[in-house]
Structure 1
Amino acid sequence: MSTKTTLSDLTGDYVLDTTRTRIGFVARHAMATRVRGQFDEFEGGAHFDGDDPSKSSVRLTIQAKSIKTRDRRRDDHLCGTFLDTDRHPTLAFTSTTVQQLADTGFRVTGDLTIRGVTKPVAVDFELTGAENDPRGGTRVAFKGGVTIDRNDWGVNWNAATRLMVSAKVTLELDITAIRQA
């Protein structure tokens, strides 16, 4: 973030810059290796209130079938058996509270919906940058993550899956958003 930029300067409504945003995940497989992946299709936005971050809000919708792990068979298996994308085509997050933790640190608590199951999660974010783009718009960047237990959302296949794939999945979020005029 520029030394001249204050949180107050960043107040406004934002949409995700989908070309510069990465929504990824990491899960242990057979407790020895890690499977990394990401979702390629999503949309979302936020309202950021730099004077009172508690008045801020975030929303995100992910197309579940856009999951990519660099293994098509695994992707198909994740879409069908784990995420049941035919019946649950999206994953969604809607914030309920935003709390400022430090100068540029925030905790965004909200409802995460996967497979039609909604549970609360708290995601810690760090504001990593803010700048004016060549077109005169303002871009902000945040990095955050949270580890969830996929079983809480019914993301499981069978008893053997519990032994082969860790229940803990780390969600990794590298977000860039553009302020709307």
Structure 2
Amino acid sequence: MRGEFHRFSGTIEVDRDHPERSSVTARISVGSIDTKIQKRDHHLLSAEFFDAAKFPEITFKSRSLKRTGENGGDIIGDFTMHGVTKPMTLHVKLTTAPSSESLPERTRWIVTTDPINRKDFGLMFSSATESI
């Protein structure tokens, strides 16, 4: 199943002198899910899955940053979905090389994570579907 969220926000605070003091936060509105099938979206938002009325947001808040190379690093933080918080590491790589000592106005990054297992967050389909 593929889908996307249309409403999200975040902040990135960069301390260029001490990158380890930088921070990242992100919020995703669960109610903005779009799988292109309205009936499925309604089911995903219901108490049977995301329970968007009770858990309206998915969040990430960084705890620490670690440089892993000249143009990369790991952002270690807490990922919360469906009322469950688990540690998560965002692997970040700068793809726009700095043109001087400061980063350019528009900087491009690649951010990856390890796979997220929805079952770790209590997100299950009906037991009959889960056993298939």
State the shift of 1:123 in Å. Answer: 1.4
Name the structure with the higher strand share.
1
> 2:21 & 2:91 partners in 1: Cα distance?
17
Identity over the aligned pairs, expressed in percent? 34
> 2:9 & 2:87 partners in 1: Cα distance?
20
Alignment of 1:1-181 (within 5 A): 35-80=1-46, 81-129=48-96, 138-146=105-113, 147-164=115-132
| Higher mean C-alpha deviation, range 155-164 or range 72-81 | 155-164
TM-score w.r.t. length of structure 1: 0.62
State the shift of 1:130 in Å. Answer: 7.1
Equivalent AA in structure 2 for residue 157 of structure 1: F
> 1:52 & 1:41 partners in 2: Cα distance?
31
TM-score w.r.t. length of structure 2: 0.83
SS of residue in 2 equivalent to 1:83:
coil
> 1:38 & 1:152 partners in 2: Cα distance?
20
The alignment of Structure 1 onto Structure 2 pairs a total of residues equal to: 125
Gaps of 5+ in 1: 1-34, 132-136, 165-181
| Higher mean C-alpha deviation, range 88-97 or range 65-74 | 65-74
> 2:123 & 2:97 partners in 1: Cα distance?
36
> 2:128 & 2:112 partners in 1: Cα distance?
28
| Higher mean C-alpha deviation, range 141-150 or range 108-117 | 141-150
State the shift of 1:139 in Å. Answer: 2.6
Sort the Cα spacing of 1:129 and 1:163 in 2 relative to 1 into closer, same or farther, 3 A. Answer: farther
Answer whether contact 1:130 1:139 (CA < 8 A) is retained: no
Work out which structure has the larger RCO, using CA pairs closer than 8 Å and 6 or more positions apart in sequence: 1
Gaps of 5+ in 2: 99-103
State the shift of 1:51 in Å. Answer: 3.3
State the shift of 1:43 in Å. Answer: 1.0
